[in-house]
Structure 1
């Protein structure tokens, strides 16, 4: 099996999971805000809230800039395979120089988009390490809450029992019974609150460390699969160009037929990715935003733009220029909408 065929098969397999992992990531982000923030009566609760709110900032960066770039990358992949699905072998050969130029641009864009994801992943991984430490603290906090819950339930039961007995004591029933019942109800309400707090404690930290981060890591792995695919395709098509088409007539035909055989499947996977985008956007839009978040997002973008321009000061292809333009304008939403067409 050739390197290109190996990457092609891997790409077809990986693309099945790309939409699933992206949606899982966004659902996890949304779930962190499904409940109110933890009450900050303890240092552990304050630390958990900080992890959640810091993650919110990166989520806002992601949906505004990184997700549209990812959508553009998948759209590029879909358009690449349209050459093999819509063109005959003869017509495809005529387009070979143009295809090679586009593949080179796609490859460079892949590198930059993966780099953007890794920039998001670094602080998330740091928070995962913090979460591991907090898990033990959280266990202790949750045990305290459970004990308080049990004590409140016992207290409520005792007060209700007293209220029942005192109801038969003349002169006391009119005052003591309503008061005891009121306090019993108050204890039960507080008990329910403690139980809810335990649930929030457990879910908030586990979502970040056990589900959300692995989902994003798997999504990045899928993007790396696309990048690796474009890299080997560039090498093979460059060989066709350098040695001449006639000298490599059979390998060229094999390349074309191999790509054509997978074109429909991979295009379908790309369509599934585009179909997932509206749900992901909805998930992220459910995350509350503060005034300070906007400043954080703008500073992040400016830094990424400067780094990309610096890396490609001498060689800035059309695809990279397009990517940078999309990051710095509102083209991202248009890209994601266009991907569904």
Structure 2
């Protein structure tokens, strides 16, 4: 396969990733919203207490995502779109005269994409911890559901007994009316009301336990089947973005150094042909992030959130610096984070 064919194939992968990326993030934000809005669970039992803890830990990751990761991803996508739009706005001669600043922008984009990939991987790591706890919780909930069903059956039997006692009390009261001058009817009715109240309580408790177990099981499963796969899918898209930026940088750098006008012209025309489609997909991604932000805005808030988010980002920057070993990378990242929409 020729180098041109490789790059053409990379452009196809880029377009596919730009279609899939917002779908993955939308799935993540939908699942987060569902976790807190639809699946309301009380931690009245050991298993549901475990689930509530998992949900609260997941909320922290969701806050981090909403406050830092999503805005950073949006800004990075805008920068990729700006690079693509160069091929729409500039003539070939203008583009050729701008290779040095274009190279600088691509190097910065490469660093940002690598950093975003690391941020998403850390989100995965934290969710994996929740996944393990959620899996244990699901197993407990399965056992608990069996226990609940047995308790529910007992409560229903008790409710039926209470109903039978109520009828017996009413019958007793009616039978003794002639000799008690109606007093027995009042007493019997009062006893019957008491039994009926107990019956309603038994039935309500049975229904509440059953529903709580069902909701907790569904919500715990959501963490393992929706949240983690959505972020994993988006990381794959980030890998494609990074590969595209890296390949573009390498090709432009070599063409600039070699001064091959023919190769430069071919590359420019190839990019120009695809630019409108790719730019449109980038715009679509950015427009969908507003929807994601709105959905995640309904997350329950906690006074400690800001400290947690700031500490998390500081730790990620420290890890990235140790990994890259280059202070210029950190200057690029700090400038990038300052430009991120709050």
User: Is it true that 1:174 corresponds to 2:189 in the alignment?
Assistant: yes
Count of aligned pairs between the two proteins: 325
The CA distance in 2 between the partners of 1:147 and 1:32, in whole Å, is 28
What is the CA-CA distance between 1:245 and the residue it aligns to? 3.3
Aligned counterpart, 2:252: 237
Q: Deviations over 1:82-122 (max 9, x none)?
A: 01122233332222222122111111111111111112211
The CA distance in 2 between the partners of 1:243 and 1:205, in whole Å, is 57
Aligned counterpart, 1:303: 315
Distance 1:272 1:160, change over 3 A: farther
Distance 1:321 1:152, change over 3 A: same
Aligned counterpart, 1:336: none
User: Is it true that 1:322 corresponds to 2:335 in the alignment?
Assistant: yes
Greater shift, 96-105 or 305-314, is seen at: 305-314
Distance 1:95 1:32, change over 3 A: same
What is the CA-CA distance between 1:25 and the residue it aligns to? 0.6
TM-score using structure 2 length: 0.87
Distance 1:261 1:145, change over 3 A: farther
Aligned counterpart, 1:292: 304
CA contact (8 A) 2:156 2:202 kept: yes
Distance 1:317 1:241, change over 3 A: farther
The CA distance in 1 between the partners of 2:273 and 2:146, in whole Å, is 58
The CA distance in 1 between the partners of 2:267 and 2:221, in whole Å, is 46
Question: Any residues of structure 2 matched to 1:1-341 within 5 Å, and which?
Answer: 2-34=5-37, 35-42=39-46, 44-169=47-172, 170=174, 171=184, 172-246=187-261, 249=262, 251-308=263-320, 311=324, 313-316=326-329, 319-326=332-339, 331-333=340-342
SS of the residue 1:33 aligns to: helix
CA contact (8 A) 1:152 1:191 kept: yes
CA contact (8 A) 1:107 1:231 kept: yes
CA contact (8 A) 1:156 1:187 kept: yes
Distance 1:151 1:244, change over 3 A: same
What is the CA-CA distance between 1:307 and the residue it aligns to? 4.0
Aligned counterpart, 1:338: none
Q: Give the gaps of 5 or more residues in structure 1.
A: 334-341
Q: Deviations over 1:248-296 (max 9, x none)?
A: x1x3233222222322222222222222222222222222122333322
CA contact (8 A) 2:87 2:271 kept: yes
Instruction: Give the CA RMSD over aligned residues.
Output: 2.2
User: Which has the greater radius of gyration?
Assistant: 2
SS of the residue 2:189 aligns to: helix
CA contact (8 A) 1:19 1:273 kept: yes
